[in-house]
Structure 1
Amino acid sequence: MDNKLLKPLIISISLIQGIVLTLLYQSVEQNFWPATNPVWLTSLATLAISLPLLTFLCITQSNIKETVKYIVPFSMVLSFLGAYVGYQQEPKEYINNSTAMAVFCFTALIASFKALMYIQQYISNKKVSYSSLFKLSWRNFIIFGECWLFVGIFWGILNLGAGLFAVLEIEFFKELLKKDWFVIPVLNLAFGFAVIVFRNIIHTVDNISTILQTLIKFLLPALTIVSLGFLITLPFTGLGALWKTGSGSLLVMWLQALTLFFVNAVYQDESHQRPYNLILHRLVFIGVALLPIYSLISIYGLWLRIEQYGLTVDRCWAILVWVLLACFSFGYLAGILKKRDAWLETLSSVNIAMGIAVLAAMLLVNSPILNFQYISAQSQLSRLEEGKISYDDFDYAYFGRSLGRQGYLQLQTLKEHLKDVSPEKVAIIERMYVNHQVETDENSFSEFETLLTFWPRKEVFPEDLLNVIYEEETERRWSTYRGNTYYLVAQDLNDDGIPEYIVITENNYQTSADMWFKNNGKWESKYMTTHNPDENRYIKGYIQNSEIKTVKPKWNNLRVGNIEFKAQVN
């Protein structure tokens, strides 16, 4: 194996990849193209990561053309999907669709490993079998994990050395490790070197795989007993107890998925060789045959939740996972009914076909075909239009929090309809989508003033007070006044004939207030406790209608000496 690896090529690609990733990182840090365009940034970053990585794990001296022939098109597909995911970040000044980006990274990783083992199998000119695909997938997984472990340890050693030199007051190495132009290429070179090392000891990698499979072999009977025990007791307990957990379908699918994974790790060959004695073999046999029951239970639970609350991104994922698990389970059951003890022949063919199905699913969820954010938005809006949910109960925050661009677009359309129906909901939507980009000094204060509502009128409030309030709201770089509404009320609260100045801050999460007063010629504020039993998030109508009055406390304070007691009663 050693003489088949293209060491210089792998190291060269690692270095080039490090340079490209450094440039992409710097574009993000310094905000120049392609970082200014999420479509290009995500697409280029995907290509820069996937193409070298897949090449590292596949290429040898004898398959260069075949590797390029299949790895490049697949990486381009991932890059195009990355562009679509990047498009879901638009408009970037209002949307932070980190959920879609995280899902893309996870699903692209799964798709890459699935595609890699099929490509490796195909270019080897050997007959496609599940046992060989399984071996390739474990090899790739272990090599990938070991490489990252090596990089992590290597990075730790560099930081340790930098720390030791810093003790000696030699700051050069410490400062060097803060430079992205050094860190990223060095870690990429370390990863490429690790690939060469671990691919040269492939037999050791296979031994690790064997150890893990042996552990799974002992765990499968225990998991099967738990599975069968659950099914036996279920008729006596009913499904009610399962649904009370709030995650019954998820638990059932986890048990089903683990069983399928363990079965595939133990029964890899199409031969009639049994890894267990007859009793354990029959136990596993029965457990596999009953797996479709879990599909029926979980889909019933999912149907109940969808019927009650509609589709969400999580439920769309649950449906997709259910479909894949059900295809595996019913495929195995069909093989058992048809082949009896020779069902392993069917297991192999089902796994090969379903591996491609999983690969396709992982790609499609990042495309317009299975855009779960769009599907969820349409489902929730349909419930609103059909009267299954009112405007007051509609979860506007979910659209902004979990549905990214699709939620933004749908709420902008809904906002037009709500203008005359429910203006307070329009305010909630507008607060959800605020431009968090750093403002300029020329327009920031004037923009802040647009968020202020005065009572009884603006002229009552000192100009220097407004400046102080603005400075307090903008002094912390991690916070922003955007997304807030401010009500400035001048009201005499202590019956001394002089109005106090109260600033009420309102957003989609809370309503708070501060009382401002001058102390020794300097403006100071005192926090006011707020009692808002109805969780009202739009009090502008009350302000405009002058529904403002002072309320005497029901309970006076008690003073004993210089100690004062205040009743905290609503």
Structure 2
Amino acid sequence: MTDQTVEADPRAVRRTTVLRLVTGLAQGLLLYWLYQANEHKFWPHTQPQADAALGLAFLFAPFVVLAGVSTLRWRTLAAWKGAAVLLAAGVGAYGVWSGDPAARGVDGLGPLNFIGLAALLFIGHHLVEPADIERRPIARFASYFDITWKHGVQLVLAAGFTGAFWLLLFLAAALFKLIGVDAIDALIKTELFAFPATTTMFAAAVQLTDVRAGLVRGVRTVALTLLAWLLPLMVLIAGGFLLTLPFTGLEPLWKTRSATAMLLTAAAFLTLLTNAAYQDGTEATAVVLKWAARLAGLLLVPIVALAAYGLSLRIGQYGLSTDRIIAAACVLVAAGYAIGYAVAAVRPGPWMKTLEATNIAMAFGVIVVLLALVTPLADPRRLSVGDQVARLEGGKVKAKDFDFRFLRFDAGRYGVDAFGRLKTSKDPEIREGARIAALLKGRYDRSDSKPSSELKPMSQIQVFPKGQALPADFVEQFGAPDAYRPFCGASDKPCRANVKDLDEDGVAEVLIEAGDGIAVYKRMDGLWKRYGFFRLTGCYPDDVDPETDMTRFITGALETTTPDMPDIKHAGQRLRITPEQPRCETAERPIKQRSAPFTPLAY
């Protein structure tokens, strides 16, 4: 069924309208149900893999119906919809299983799962629909081009329409609130309204743009024409860049540490703009654009080659990481386009004709690459963990330079499993590195924890005032071999503590140097925990330097005082004022403010 048939048959228009609106409404209600399951902790929230599988299926699979209900045969639509559901559910379930074991449901999914699945379904649909319309496995390139760009424009217009719908609702809520009516504001903040309203309006926008396919094609033509005339500029930029490289060398390029990403971005723009100029190959094209397209096809080869070379250097130096594996996949895809477009540029006959076969072949190639990335076959976390651990155990990287945090926090199940094995490694340096990483609470925690052989014994901590001693349970807790100790890490500096009952509850607190401040440890729930820290104000007498100021603070007989401004209790919270300027005046002698005051503790 073609778009022209839909426009000419009122019954077909009504049928597709109802189906699309029902699909949008059902999608919204199902997403609302999942939201409630996560809010109130009932199934499928209790099974993270099922939660993620259903979440991705409900989020993405309905788009197959929205896009294909007016053109696909019913059996093709049913089969493709079933495949889309299985694909989305599989990506979701595997993404959670292989992700952070502590994450729940869709929280365990990463950007690759969402972006990869969206790309798979979009590309897959635009291989299925043209082939079904023409009743053959591989359709004409003109059909692929027409339907793909039409749906791309529809997607953008439908998203804009849905956004405008919500802007109007917010405007209505604001207007009615001016006269004391809060009903609309309360309605749009209700999830039972928000989910179905959003998905139904999106479906309505798809239908409105579909029955006016000529208008959509008009927008597409304007967009492609504008993009096409950017191609000569992009060719000039890429050509100028490549011609300048012999004079600058490659060293400045590699120093940026983002050369591969920028080169791949340039390649993507060259590919996109070349397609905008070529379109379906049947339109009359200006000579300038024809020559620009041929040059773009030739320029792709050195640009992609440079990207591949730069990536190979990074992998050779630092091994595989998740980002480098994804970049390698992008280089592989870009290389396919570069070779095909270069052949099209130099091949005699109709201009850039080989581009058509290249685009169709690469669509299948991209699907294969994406499927590999979102499944165990080429899961970036699995491959990077295997490579990094092999480099560590093979001696290519020393344990002190190894990123144990990556395994523990960023590599999902594969990293956690590998981290567990390294904690029992036969190599003592690897075991020690894993031990320190195991003490961290988060990926970006700063730890001053040293290997146990380098930490000062607790007996070497200088305790003030004279005659005081650290509490026995404090020494026992932080003196253990596996204890996390964020203080006394520097072997070339004294470690000092002050024991003082600051809150006068009968139990002394421990004030101890840590970084550039004084940390306060308090016994809470049977353990000593960091309660807070003191930061010096930056005021000191003329004859006192910052280090002396810190020494006087930690070694002195500390005196507690009542704050100038009391705390405030509000809504169950205790709020404490922070003065804008420290009080530096004293009656004994002039005080001036230090130009570089102590900074807060950094852990």
Instruction: Name the SS for the 2:510 alignment partner.
Output: strand
Question: Which residue does 1:245 correspond to in 2?
Answer: 256
1:15 alignment counterpart: 25
Whether 1:375 and 2:375 are equivalent positions in the alignment is no
With over 3 angstroms needed to count, the CA separation of the structure-2 counterparts of 1:422 and 1:387, relative to structure 1, is closer
Name the CA shift for 1:99/1:31 in 2 (closer, same or farther; >3 Å).
closer
Cα deviation, 1:174-210, whole Å, max 9, x if unaligned, reads 2222221121112222122222111111111111110
Matches within 5 A, 1:184-199: 184-199=195-210
Determine the structure 1 residue equivalent to 2:180. 169
Secondary structure of the residue that 1:514 maps to in structure 2? strand
* 1:295 has 2:304 as partner: yes
Q: Work out which of the residue numbers 78, 86, 90 in structure 1 matches 2:96.
A: 86
1:350 aligns with 2:361: no
Within-5 A mapping of 1:457-476: 458=471
Query: Cα–Cα, structure 1 residues 28 and 227, in superposed 2: closer, same or farther, change >3 Å?
Result: same
Distance 1:291 1:414, change over 3 A: same
8 A Cα contact 2:50 2:105, kept in partner: no
Cα–Cα, structure 1 residues 242 and 492, in superposed 2: closer, same or farther, change >3 Å?
A: closer
Residue 527 of structure 1: aligned partner? 534
CA distance in structure 2 between the aligned counterparts of 1:422 and 1:525, rounded to whole angstroms: 33
Which of residues 184, 206, 213 is equivalent to 1:202? 213
Residue in 1 aligned with 2:143?
Answer: 132
Q: Does 1:514 align with 2:519?
A: yes
Aligned-partner residue type, residue 300 of structure 1: Y
**Is the Cα–Cα contact under 8 Å of residues 425 and 431 in structure 2 kept in the other structure?**
no
Query: Following the alignment from structure 1 to structure 2, what is the Cα–Cα distance between the partners of residues 493 and 243?
Result: 53
Partners of 2:512 and 2:554 within 8 A in 1: no
70 and 417 in structure 1: CA distance in 2 versus 1, 3 angstrom threshold: same
The structure-2 alpha-carbon separation of the partners of 1:70 and 1:458, relative to structure 1 and needing over 3 Å to count, comes to: same
Change in CA separation of 1:419 and 1:179 when aligned onto 2, cut-off 3 Å: farther
Can you give the 5+ residue segments of structure 1 that lack an aligned partner in the other structure? 435-452, 467-482, 518-523, 530-549
Instruction: Give the aligned residue type for 1:109.
Output: A
C-alpha separation in 2, matches of 1:221 and 1:196: 37
Q: Match for 2:18: what amino acid? A: P
Aligned letter for 2:327? A
Code of the aligned partner of 1:267: Y
Whole-angstrom distance in 1 between the partners of 2:484 and 2:188: 40
Amino acid at match of 2:302: I
1:54-76 CA-to-partner distances (Å, cap 9, x unmatched) read: 10111028722321122221331
Distance 1:54 1:238 in 2: 49
Which amino acid counterpart does residue 327 of structure 1 have in structure 2? G
- Number of residues paired by the alignment? 499
Matches within 5 A, 1:56-455: 56-60=66-70, 63-92=73-102, 100-125=109-134, 128-270=139-281, 275-277=285-287, 281-337=290-346, 339-342=347-350, 344-417=352-425, 421=429, 425-432=433-440
Q: Find the residue that maps to 2:509 and give its secondary structure.
A: strand
Tell me the C-alpha RMSD between the 2 structures. Answer: 3.9
Q: 1:335 to 1:149 in 2, by over 3 A?
A: closer
The CA deviation string for residues 148-193 of structure 1, in whole angstroms up to 9 with x for no partner, is: 2111111222222223333333333322222211211122221222
The TM-score, its normalising length taken from structure 1, stands at 0.77
Question: Structure 2 CA distance, aligned partners of 1:208 and 1:376?
Answer: 44
* Other-structure match for 2:528: none
2:43 is aligned to 33
Q: Structure 1 stretch 285-294 or stretch 221-230: which is displaced more?
A: 285-294
Offset at 1:215?
0.6
Q: Which structure 2 residue ranges, 5 or more long, are not aligned?
A: 1-5, 443-457, 462-468, 478-482, 489-494, 501-505, 523-530, 537-549, 557-583, 599-603
How far is 1:142 from its partner?
1.4
TM (normalized to structure 2)? 0.73
Residues 423 and 435, structure 2, Cα contact 8 Å, conserved in 1: no
1:342 is paired with a residue whose SS is coil
Deviation at 1:276, TM superposition (A): 2.1
Seen in structure 2, the aligned counterparts of structure 1 residues 525 and 242 have a Cα distance that, compared at 3 Å, is closer
Comparing 60-69 with 220-229, greater Cα deviation is found at: 60-69
CA displacement, residues 473-517 of structure 1 (integer Å, 9 cap, x when unaligned) = xxxxxxxxxx976889995579xxx997325699xxx89742479
Cα deviation, 1:282-323, whole Å, max 9, x if unaligned, reads 343233123211222111111111111111111111111111
Partner of residue 59, structure 2? 49
**Matched residue SS, 1:290:** helix
Residue identity matched to 1:412: G
Cα separation, 1, equivalents of 2:84 and 2:221:
30
Tell me how far apart the structure 2 counterparts of residues 493 and 62 of structure 1 sit (CA, whole Å): 78
Distance change in 2, residues 1:504/1:375 (3 Å): farther
Q: CA deviation at 1:431?
A: 3.5
CA contact (8 A) 1:89 1:96 kept: no
Q: Is the 8 A contact 1:492 1:500 kept in 2?
A: no
Q: Cα 1:460–1:186, aligned 2, differ >3 Å: closer, same or farther?
A: closer
Structure-2 change in CA distance of 1:384 and 1:559 (3 Å) = farther
Q: 1:335 to 1:142 in 2, by over 3 A?
A: closer
User: Aligned partners of 2:521, 2:319: CA distance in 1, in Å?
Assistant: 47
The structure with the greater share of residues assigned to helix is 1
When residues 511 and 65 of structure 1 are mapped into structure 2, their CA distance, relative to the original with a 3 A threshold, is: farther
- Paired amino acid for 1:396: F
| Alpha-carbon distance, 1:218 to partner | 0.8
Q: Report the CA distance between 1:385 and its aligned residue.
A: 1.1
Deviation string, structure 1 residues 12-65 (Cα, Å, up to 9, x no partner): 222222211111011112222212222111111111122211101110287223
What secondary structure, in the 3-state scheme, does the structure 2 residue paired with 1:428 have? helix
Q: Do the aligned partners of 2:158 and 2:202 also contact (CA within 8 Å) in 1?
A: yes
C-alpha separation between the residues in 1 aligned to 2:551 and 2:431?
A: 28
Could you report, residue by residue, the CA deviation over 1:452-485 in whole angstroms, capped at 9, with x for unpaired residues? x999665578xxxx9xxxxxxxxxxxxxxxx976
Q: Any idea what SS the aligned residue of 1:502 has?
A: strand
Distance 1:327 1:511, change over 3 A: farther
Aligned-partner SS, 1:91:
coil
Q: What is the alpha-carbon distance in structure 2 between the residues aligned to residue 160 and residue 230 of structure 1?
A: 48
Assess if the C-alpha contact under 8 Å between 2:67 and 2:151 holds in 1.
yes
Bigger relative contact order (CA 8 A; separation at least 6): 1
Using the alignment, how far apart are the partners of 1:317 and 1:97 within structure 2? 21
Letter of the structure 2 residue corresponding to residue 232 of structure 1: L
Distance verdict in 2 for CA 1:90–1:558, change over 3 Å? closer
**Contact 1:292 1:329 survives alignment (8 Å):** yes
Percent of paired sites with the same residue: 23
Aligned to 1:444: none
Instruction: Tell me, in whole angstroms, the C-alpha distance in 2 between the residues paired with 1:284 and 1:319.
Output: 26
Larger mean CA deviation between 356-365 and 19-28 belongs to 356-365
